[in-house]
Structure 1
Amino acid sequence: MVSAFKAFIWDSSPPDGIPFEPSESLRRLEFTGRHATYTNADTWYPSWAADGHMYSPWTDGSIDGAFCHSYDGGEPSPNSPAHTGQARIEGDNPLELKVINLGKTASDASPYKGRYPCGSLVYNGIWYYGTYCLGPSNTHDYENITYNWPWLGSFVGFRTSHDFGMTWVDSPHTPASPLFGENGLKGQPVRIGSPHFVDFGCNMEHSPDGKAYLVAHGSDLKFYPTRFANNSWITGDQIYLLRVTPSLETMNDPGFYEFFAGHDSTGAPIWTNDFMLIQPILEWQNNMGCVTVTYNAPLRKFIMCVTDGGITCGKMNSYILEADTLTGPWKLITYMKNFGEQAYFLNLPSKFISDDGLTLWLCYAGNFAVGWNGQDIQTNPPGGRYAMSLQEIRLLG
């Protein structure tokens, strides 16, 4: 569905104590009014492949009548395992895209109850498709509040495809034996639960060193526990950064990964192969969550989208940051209170960045739980819904 509304500038309203300085060059975000939605599913993270198409995971909904759900019993059979879907996105105009369903893959979630898509990368003809786990259930009651998947579980690893999603080879890892060995089965803090690839353009053309970089929201013991669901699919306290040279031999081997571990005395970033030495690139207690980053080549800047999902199924706050390097410093472009009003999984597909870098298309899903806990969730900006929602935006000085 394609339509438009009158352009407006989002009223940035950051809360007291925000730890980011304002950007000097990008200070406001305008919604032009042009927007479109596709499918009836969420979890869209497009990766721009060398063949010109974008490829993305999807789940918990349908494409042209074909359904996929990423939790145990979500399929027609009550005993069915979790599934994760894949799709090809054709077209160069965000208002005239064609989304092709490429089917779904069974993904055992045990000992968790949910196993969802996260980081997805198509590079040199190979699709690396990451999944992560959630618990204890998709609806969980605690102190008179119903939550959605309040515990972030482990990042399992990557399944791979050599034919753009037609056939797959499973990851050698399982939820019980994940890539980085973390365990959130009882609500313990997890640091690399749901990583997403930094979008470096078509076939990673703008990677500075041939490496794939990933960002992930999480938490650690210094914040445990501060509130229920403080480290969930959409909430966290910190953002982490890791990198790897992508290949079939490296992506599922933790020994090939490097983790950001702070800065040295000169301010240069420290990288380590020791997961236990990992340090966050950003930290804001009870105000972080799902994160994505896109490299804006015309501006030579990284643009980060973060969503703080609150109670996981109410109104959600999102904000957009910019930096010259992935390790920061990161500065605030805009803080969007109640964006969506329940928008999540924000990202900026590099394929749709204008030549001057100032016009982009914000991709997200929204409003999956409009009546939970008696909340009245509206749609803002107009046009967003539970779908692959695209909004044209302008970065203003």
Structure 2
Amino acid sequence: MATTLLLLPVLGAGQRARAQPYPPSPVITGVQFYPATFEHDKAPGSDNWPITWADDDNQYTSWGDGGGFGGTNQVGRVSLGVARVSGPHSGYSGHNIWGGYNSDVPATFGGKSYGIISIAGILYMWVAPGSGKDNFISQTLYHSSDHARSWTSAGWSFTQAQGVVLPTFLQFGKDYAGARDEYVYIYAIRLKDASDLVVQKPGQIDLFRVPKSQLLQRNAYQFFAGLDAGGQPTWTSDLSARRPVFEDARGVGWNVSVSYNAGIGRYLLCTEHDSSPHGNLGMFDAPEPWGPWTTVGYWSNWQGYSSTFFWNFSPKWRSADGTDFVLVFTGVGAFDDWNIISGTFTVTPLLEAPGNLTASAVSAGQIDLAWTDNSTDEEGFAIARRREDNPAGPPTVTLTAYAGSNTPPTIEAAGSANSFRTGALVVNDRADTWTRVPAELADSTRLLAARDDRQSQPLSAMYTVELSGPATVYLPLDPRYGGGKLSWMDAGWSDSGLTCDSSAQAGWKIWKKEIAAAGTITLGVDEQQYDGMCYVFTAPGAGPWQQVTSVAADTTAYSDSGLEPATTYSYRVRAYRGGVTSAWCQPATATTLPAGEPRADGGGDDGGGNGDSVDAGADAGADEGAGDSGADSGPAADDGQAGGDEGGGDAATADSGNNAGDEASAGGCGCAASSPRRGLWLLLVVCGLLLAGGRRRTNGQR
């Protein structure tokens, strides 16, 4: 018999409601576990079991302090082992590869792992050095190119002093298929209590990301730094500046698992709360790796399995629609083993993302959007926009003044020998060179200063430059000075998330500041002993995604007006219903026309609102004279009918001559029939019709 564990208020035996840190999930409204499917005793004495799905269609998992599959707490016991799980849930087998009972090869080092992943056929595994509180000492990344038979260290670690403990990987599909982008995402517990393996209170979980091609390079890691005004994540390369991506005042476990359920379109996070190990399972979901989080279930003594502490969804054993799943879990005592149980999610109907989004520039200030509505029960669509790179290109940079340097600084143009590129000088009075620069900034214009700036100005060295247009200014900071903001850097400076290396020092942190318009700016060195500044200048980067508006259900078009001329914008659209949203559709991009260029649709000047044009003089005359001209190609080509009734019906063409005059007269406008006045009136009507021809009306609104 199945025990139904629906998210509050229906709870199974041994359950009790807890105060939840996040509101209920709008997508997963219930969870059902099937005790008859509970299985263990395949690896008694071995615990942990984080799991990933590899390129060879097998799953790989690690265990600690036991013999693994077929072993016991004494037979084949190793501190750390890795096994292969082959086959479907209905008929799988476990086989020890590295360490454990009857393994292919012996384990070559000890420790514990709570995070393993397969990417492009390579296995990666986070390893802590010991058991108990020794798990907190350090976290080292290992990799294997032979499906777990041998492992190599990356050669660096996160440490207990940094507050990073027991990281785990965000799981996607087979061999990382279906990943949201080119990054690998990593979650780690924020250490609060190092006394033992206890729930960390108040609970905080951090999020890291790193390009998957640079997973082994510590200086490529970025850390979640909160959301911007548009609700988009910001990232920093400064570990001390990170902000938690998940919080629970009742605590989080000393480990965590996170996986993406593609069928449901949600990220699922499992961890403990209150105390460990007592089956206190918190299960949460979100539409993105950074949230916003909602609660799927918040249990005490989950399923009556009162000594469990770590839960992972099998990335392979899951139905295509994501509702049926297998949970792999572990604990102490009776649950010090490989344990699995099947379950089912109850979900609200999913929303399909809009499709076929197009963006078309119609004027210097307007872009029209159109898309396909793929949902049947949405409440509306949210539209987001961001400004892309400045189409005018990088600005011209001119040095107008400087102070504090015995060696004059210079501006090195983009593409020159000493622009910001590998092999270029770091400063102009030393032989040090750049050995690595970010691809995003390579060959950019830079200010090349001297190392001796302090000799004539002990407090500051100031550089005044004139920019020909908007720019992003980057400032690499020598790691020997701590990498933090200098005292003169105002709030406009932010961590770019980029780093570079020189022949003298690796790991320069790069700050950036957006300059909105042409003009003169002053860049200064702080009052501390810092010298050898380098400033890099590029065209403005893409801005953050910002929601422009929401439109009603069944709407498939929108006109975005009030934009800047000759500027590139990207758009994306998603459906919503209550707290449920579809994925964003694929972005579409368009560039507004240059200022003064005629509208692409033949219309007049841009108006306000939803792309509608307004000209009180001409439109009023046209409506009074003869209604709609028939020249409008907008969605409501007959919206001038009311005006036409006043003047004489819908004039399909701007007819000149007696017929037009007769039609106007028959409309009963009350004008005298004398020839001069009638001729003047007719001239006004014809002019009004000609002017109205390009006017665009939508749903009767002008």
Residues 195 and 309 from structure 1, CA distance in 2 versus in 1: closer, same or farther, beyond 3 angstroms? farther
Q: Is the 8 A contact 1:133 1:154 kept in 2?
A: yes
Cα distance change, pair 239–354 in 1 and its aligned pair in 2 (3 A) = same
Of 365, 372, 377, the residue aligned with 2:330 is 365
- 1:336 and 2:339 are equivalent in the alignment: no
Match in the other structure for 2:84: 88
- With over 3 angstroms needed to count, the CA separation of the structure-2 counterparts of 1:13 and 1:323, relative to structure 1, is farther
Identify which of 193, 200, 209 aligns with 2:165: 193
Q: Which residue is equivalent to 1:118?
A: 114
Task: Check 1:198–1:107 CA distance in 2 against 1; reply closer, same or farther (3 A cut).
Answer: same
Distance (whole Å) between structure 2 residues aligned to residue 124 and residue 64 of structure 1: 26
Q: Is the 8 A contact 1:59 1:68 kept in 2?
A: no
1:39 to 33, 43, 48: 43
Q: Would you say the 8 A contact 2:257–2:312 is kept in 1?
A: yes
Counterpart of 1:130 in structure 2 is 126
Higher percent of residues as strand = 1
1:253-268 equivalences in 2 (<5 Å): 253-268=217-232
- CA shift at 1:369, angstroms? 4.0
Q: Which residue of 1 aligns with 2:3?
A: 8
Aligned residues: 325
Task: Give distance in 1, aligned partners of 2:79 and 2:134.
Answer: 19
Asked if the contact 1:36–1:389 (Cα under 8 Å) also holds between the matched residues in 2, the reply is yes
Match of 1:211 in 2: 183
Residues 65 and 327 of structure 1: CA distance in aligned 2, closer, same or farther (over 3 Å): closer
- Who is 1:111 aligned against? none
Cα distance, 1:358–1:35 mapped onto 2, change above 3 Å = same
Q: Name the counterpart of 1:274.
A: 238
2:160 corresponds to 1:165: no
1:97 Cα deviation (Å)? 1.4
Check the 8 A contact 1:46/1:56 in 2, yes or no.
yes
1:389 aligned to 2:391?
no
Distance 1:239 1:117 in 2: 17
Partner-residue secondary structure (3-state), 2:164: coil
Tell me if the contact between 2:69 and 2:94 (Cα under 8 Å) persists in the aligned partners. Answer: no
Out of 153, 157, 164, the position equivalent to 2:136 is 153
* Cα gap change, 1:106 to 1:66, in 2 (>3 Å): farther
Q: Describe the shift of the 1:318–1:54 C-alpha distance in structure 2 as closer, same or farther (beyond 3 A).
A: same
- Report the more deviating stretch, 6-15 or 43-52: 6-15
Alignment partner, residue 379 of structure 1: none
Unaligned stretches of 5+ residues in structure 2? 6-10, 100-106, 348-702
Relative distance call for 1:213 and 1:75 in structure 2 (3 A) is same
Q: Does 1:183 align with 2:185?
A: no
Give the residue type in structure 2 aligned to 1:101.
Answer: N
Asked which structure has the greater RCO (Cα within 8 Å, sep 6+), the reply is 1
Among the aligned pairs, what percent are the same residue? Answer: 23
Q: Which has the higher helix share?
A: 2
Q: Which amino acid aligns with 1:201?
A: G
Cα offsets for 1:90-114 (capped at 9, x unmatched): 011x242111101333436xxxxxx
2:318 alignment partner, one of 353, 356, 371: 353
Structure 1: gaps (5+ residues): 1-5, 77-81, 109-114, 139-148, 174-178, 185-189, 371-384
Match of 1:102 in 2: 97
Contact 1:20 1:331 in 2 (8 A): yes
State the SS of the aligned residue for 2:175.
Answer: helix
Aligned equivalents of 2:95 and 2:33: distance in 1? 28
Shift of 1:68: 7.8
Are 1:300 and 2:303 matched, yes or no? no
Q: Provide closer, same or farther for how the CA distance between residues 23 and 243 of structure 1 changes in structure 2, counting only shifts above 3 A.
A: same
Amino acid at match of 2:342: E
Q: Which residue type is aligned with residue 26 of structure 2? A: E
Task: Note if contact 1:345-1:364 (Cα within 8 Å) is conserved in structure 2.
Answer: yes
Change (3 A) 1:183 1:64: closer
Query: 1:63 maps to which residue?
Result: 68
Tell me which residue corresponds to 1:144: none
Whether the aligned pair in 1 keeps the contact of 2:68 and 2:81 (CA below 8 Å) is no
Describe the SS at the equivalent of 1:203. Answer: helix
- Kindly provide the amino acid, as one letter, of the partner of residue 260 in structure 1: F
> What TM-score comes out, normalization by structure 1 length?
0.75
Provide the residue aligned with 1:376 in structure 2.
Answer: none
